[in-house]
Amino acid sequence: MATYRQLAKENAAAYLPDVASRLNNLGVLYGDTQRLKEAEDAFTDALATDRQLANENAAAYLPDVASTLNN
């Protein structure tokens, strides 16, 4: 995760969607393994990132916001 966050700092357009996706996936994994605090934290970070992306390009990223909220 740290690597993707660093890449996103250097090139947000290319890597920030990957950060959000991986955070969402981590949230699912943590939830499936009953690590609920970690799941909540991962989903919260993913949602903030998805919302940031959706503010820049709603058509492309609002579905990701909805998916993260669903999870």
Dist. CA 50–CA 59, nearest whole Å: 12
Cα distance between residue 65 and residue 38, in whole Å: 19
Q: What is the pLDDT along the chain (71 residues), one digit of tens a residue?
A: 899 999 999 999 999 999 999 999 999 999 999 999 999 999 999 999 999 999 999 999 999 999 999 99
CA dihedral 61, 63, 66, 68 (to 10 degrees): -70
